[in-house]
């Protein structure tokens, strides 16, 4: 049986105030792939993730997740769909009124099935996974450093260990050590749980260490998608500019 695509975008088009950001964009991500999404600043990577999440309705085309159209009217199916994905926002987007602990516990509590002890263990597990100490659980988001915000947001995105993980610049603002930890963490989760990951990143080390596939966003569409080695040979100014001298490092 051929695995069904986790993400399927078909002919998606979006424009803001008459300026097209995406035009006739198509992308198909299969189960278990870790896709690195590349593109220049302002090329519409975050916008693409927002479309995949259904936060932004495209003007044209369809978005399907796990084979389900995002315009499906059934509320229950929609909610179940949302539980299968986790998102790390570029700015963290932690709930500013909740402590770190409560931020991570939030999606777990929303299930209304887990008892307090279970949630507490899971939250501390997630904190440990992203390299934070239990004592950090008491802090409020405003009391965190930029990199800590990123890690807490990652822990929250991982709270349900969702099948599809969307990461917007997960390693921006982390020191190289932490980036390496992140690469190992997501890698091992992927092996254990068969996650599908789409991540926006400009960091070549993260890309080299983690991504199985690369998608390149330029000229308002995905100009190249495929295994890392294949995409690097694509002849497009952005691709040659981006990988440039570092092509060897990626392989």
Partner 1 sequence: MSTSPRLLVEPGRVVLSGCWTLAEMLPQLPALEAELVACAGHNEWDLSAISRLDSAAAVLLWRTWGARWPVGLVADDLHRQVLERVADLPLEIAEQARPRRRFPEMVGALLLKAVGNLRGMIALFGQLLLDVAYLVRHPQDVPWKEFTANVYKAGAQALAVTALVGFLIGVTISYLSALQLKSFGADLFIVNILGISIIRELGPVLVAVLVAGRSGSAMTAQIGVMRVTEEIDVLSTMGISRTIRVVLPKIFGLTVAMPLLVLWTSAVALFGGMLAALLQLDLSFAYFVDNLPRAVPVANLVIGLSKGVVFGFVIAIVACHFGLHVKPNTESLSASTTSAVVTAITTVILFDAIFAVFTRNIGVP
Ligand X SMILES: Nc1ncnc2c1ncn2[C@@H]1O[C@H](COP(=O)(O)OP(=O)(O)OP(=O)(O)O)[C@@H](O)[C@H]1O
Q: List residues near Mg ion by CB under 5 A.
A: 46, 90
Given the structure tokens 């936060």, which residue do they identify? 55
- Residue 141 binds which of partner 1, ligand X, Mg ion, none (CB < 5-8 A, kind-dependent): partner 1
Residues 85-124 that bind partner 1 (CB under 8 A): 95-97, 99, 101, 111, 113-114, 117-118, 120-122, 124
Residues 6+ apart with CB under 8 A from 219: none
Single out the segment in contact with partner 1 by CB under 8 A; choices: 9-17, 50-58, 126-134, 169-177: 126-134
Q: Is 177 in the site for partner 1 (CB under 8 A)?
A: no
- Residue 120 binds which of partner 1, Mg ion, ligand X, none (CB < 5-8 A, kind-dependent): partner 1
Nearer to partner 1, 15 or 90 (CB): 90
Min CB(138)–ligand X separation in Å: 31
Among 1, 75, 245, 251, binds partner 1 (CB under 8 A): 1
Min CB(14)–ligand X separation in Å: 8
Assigned token pair, 58: 């495209």
Q: Is 2 in the site for partner 1 (CB under 8 A)?
A: no
Binding mask 42-61 for ligand X (x = CB under 6 A): xxxxxx--------------
Q: Is 163 in the site for partner 1 (CB under 8 A)?
A: yes
- Residue 193 binds which of ligand X, partner 1, Mg ion, none (CB < 5-8 A, kind-dependent): partner 1
Burial tier of 189 (Cβ tally within 10 Å: 0-12, 13-18, 19+): middle
Assigned token pair, 103: 């931020």
Binding mask 221-250 for ligand X (x = CB under 6 A): ------------------------------
Nearer to Mg ion, 46 or 201 (CB): 46
């Amino acid at each position: 049986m051929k695995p069904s695509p986790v993400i399927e975008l078909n002919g998606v088009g979006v424009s803001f105030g008459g300026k097209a950001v995406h035009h006739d964009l198509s992308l198909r991500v299969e189960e278990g792939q870790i896709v690195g999404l590349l593109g220049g600043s302002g090329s519409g990577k975050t916008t693409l993730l927002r479309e995949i999440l259904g936060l932004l309705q495209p003007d044209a085309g369809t978005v399907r997740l796990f084979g389900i159209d995002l315009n499906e009217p059934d509320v229950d199916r929609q909610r179940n769909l949302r539980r299968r994905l986790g998102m790390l926002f570029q700015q963290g987007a932690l709930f500013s009124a909740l402590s770190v602990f409560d931020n991570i516990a939030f999606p777990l509590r929303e299930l209304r099935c887990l008892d307090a002890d279970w949630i507490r263990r899971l939250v501390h597990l997630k904190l440990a996974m992203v390299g934070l100490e239990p004592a950090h659980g008491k802090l409020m988001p405003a009391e965190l450093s930029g990199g800590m915000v990123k890690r807490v947001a990652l822990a929250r995105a991982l709270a349900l260990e969702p099948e599809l993980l969307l990461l917007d610049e997960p390693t921006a603002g982390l020191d190289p050590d932490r980036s390496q930890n992140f690469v190992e963490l997501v890698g091992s989760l992927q092996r254990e749980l068969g996650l599908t990951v789409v991540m926006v990143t400009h960091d070549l080390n993260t890309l080299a260490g983690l991504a199985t596939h690369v998608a390149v966003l330029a000229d308002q569409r995905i100009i190249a998608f495929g295994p890392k080695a294949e995409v690097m040979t694509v002849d497009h100014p952005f691709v040659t500019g981006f990988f440039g001298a570092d092509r060897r490092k990626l392989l």
